[in-house]
């Protein structure tokens, strides 16, 4: 059996497994076909679709790119690549891929459909991002208001403590003055002592 025929047989086995949604088996068959004929773009396209079936989008992208590299005229390659990029939320790259494909076939229905989906997803993502920013701004504003209230309360407490400390220092000083004044007079006699004053 010739190599091309063997590769085609593996491809047919892969197609059958793919139709049964047995994507792992399909990947195995397509990989064997690729080993025999690594220049066949269809094998890479089909394996890319199988990776997509398993939602292994990075792998799907790699095979789709190789497919396009081997045959830039093969429209399914652009479809596979754009679809995988869409799932990876690489919207700008996906749109660029679509534009490349449409440059070859401006009326390709698959690419036009995917392009509409990409644009809708991009708008939705932008709207969601804007909404999240607004929520963050609102939360930040509330947090700032709370911090300002806490700061004001702390400032009031600090001023109150400072006032009490000043009063205590003043009373202590006045008491020291009173004691100094008492020491200047003889021990005989009666005295009335008040804060900061001496009464004979």
Give per-residue pLDDT as tens, 81-103: 999 999 999 999 999 999 999 99
Report yes or no on whether pTM surpasses 0.85.
no
* DSSP 8-state code for residue 163: H
Distance of CA 69 to the CA centre of its chain: 32
Tell me the average pLDDT across 14-24.
98
Q: How far apart are CA 21 and CA 196, in angstroms?
A: 99
* DSSP 8-state code for residue 187: S
Q: How confident is the model at residue 198 (pLDDT cuts 50, 70, 90)?
A: very low
Tell me the average pLDDT across 195-200.
47
Tell me the average pLDDT across 162-180.
75
Say if CB 23 and CB 60 are below 8 A apart: no
Tell me the average pLDDT across 127-132.
64
Q: What is the mean pLDDT of the chain?
A: 86
Q: How far apart are CA 158 and CA 139, in angstroms?
A: 28
Q: How far apart are CA 22 and CA 193, in angstroms?
A: 104
pLDDT at 46: 98
Closest CA to 71 of 37, 103, 105, 45: 45
pLDDT at 144: 80
Say if CB 182 and CB 193 are below 8 A apart: yes
């Amino acid at each position: 059996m010739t190599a091309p025929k063997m590769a085609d047989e593996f491809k047919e086995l892969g197609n059958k497994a793919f139709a049964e949604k047995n994507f792992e088996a399909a990947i195995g068959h397509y990989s064997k076909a690729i080993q025999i004929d690594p220049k066949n773009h269809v094998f890479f396209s089909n394996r890319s679709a199988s990776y997509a079936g398993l939602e292994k989008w990075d792998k799907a992208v790699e095979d789709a790119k190789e497919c396009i590299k081997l045959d830039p005229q093969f429209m399914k390659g652009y479809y596979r690549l754009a679809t995988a990029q869409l799932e990876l939320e690489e919207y700008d790259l996906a749109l660029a891929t679509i534009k490349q494909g449409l440059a070859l076939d401006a009326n390709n229905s698959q690419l036009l459909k995917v392009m509409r989906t990409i644009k809708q997803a991009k708008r939705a993502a932008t709207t969601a991002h804007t909404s999240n920013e607004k929520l963050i701004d609102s939360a930040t504003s509330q947090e700032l208001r709370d911090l300002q209230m806490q700061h004001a309360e702390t400032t009031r407490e600090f001023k109150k403590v400072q006032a009490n400390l000043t009063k205590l220092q003043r009373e202590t000083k006045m008491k020291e003055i009173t004691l100094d004044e008492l020491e200047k007079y003889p021990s005989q006699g009666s005295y009335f002592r008040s804060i900061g004053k001496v009464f004979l």
